[in-house]
């Protein structure tokens, strides 16, 4: 593996950014997995567990466990969907929203650290290319 391999660079980038985020949020008592759900729900209040799994790239059993612990901690609440009583909509509580805003600030600071002195134009080009790479992976998964 070298820094010329996409998979290696993806791994290194994810590990370094994730380590910074986890160190900060875990020091405040949030276990791994919960911060990304908080951040996702901040932007997607009232979504289903399945939507959370898709948006956070987590499997069903992981989402179930995380949401149960978050509900016990008073960070989220569930409301049964009137159209489909088998489904529940997930909402942040006021405490959950406060933590979600803090998590977003932590993630923004890690993003800024990663971007460093890279000019805005290069940032936008990188993000556009990276979205294409993700779309390529998603398209391949749909074919399988």
Confidence (pLDDT) at 34:
93
CA distance 40 to 53: 10
pTM: 0.85
Sketch out the chain's domains with CATH numbers. 7-143 (1.10.10.10)
Tens place of pLDDT per residue across the chain (144 aa): 677 899 999 999 999 999 999 889 988 888 888 999 999 999 999 999 999 999 999 999 999 999 999 999 999 999 987 877 778 999 999 999 999 999 999 999 999 999 999 999 999 999 999 999 999 998 887 777
CA distance 71 to 103: 18
Confidence (pLDDT) at 50:
92
DSSP 8-state code for residue 44 = S
CA distance 27 to 43: 24
Q: Largest Cα–Cα distance in the chain? A: 52
Confidence (pLDDT) at 138:
87
Can you tell me whether residue 47 is helix, strand or coil?
Answer: strand
**Can you point out the beta strands (E) in the chain?**
76-81, 84-92
Confidence (pLDDT) at 1:
64
């Amino acid at each position: 593996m070298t820094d010329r391999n996409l998979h290696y660079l993806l791994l290194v980038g994810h590990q370094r950014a994730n380590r910074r985020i986890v160190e900060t949020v875990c020091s405040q008592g949030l276990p791994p997995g919960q911060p990304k759900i908080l951040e996702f729900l901040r932007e997607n209040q009232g979504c289903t567990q399945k939507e959370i799994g898709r948006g956070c790239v987590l499997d069903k059993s992981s989402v179930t466990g995380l949401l149960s612990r978050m509900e016990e901690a008073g960070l989220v609440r569930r409301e049964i969907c009137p159209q489909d009583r088998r489904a529940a909509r997930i909402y942040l509580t006021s405490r959950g929203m406060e933590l979600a805003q803090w998590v977003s600030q932590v993630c923004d600071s890690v993003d800024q650290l990663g971007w460093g002195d890279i000019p805005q134009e290069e940032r936008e080009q990188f993000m556009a290319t990276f979205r294409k790479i993700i779309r390529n992976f998603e398209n391949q998964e749909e074919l399988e």
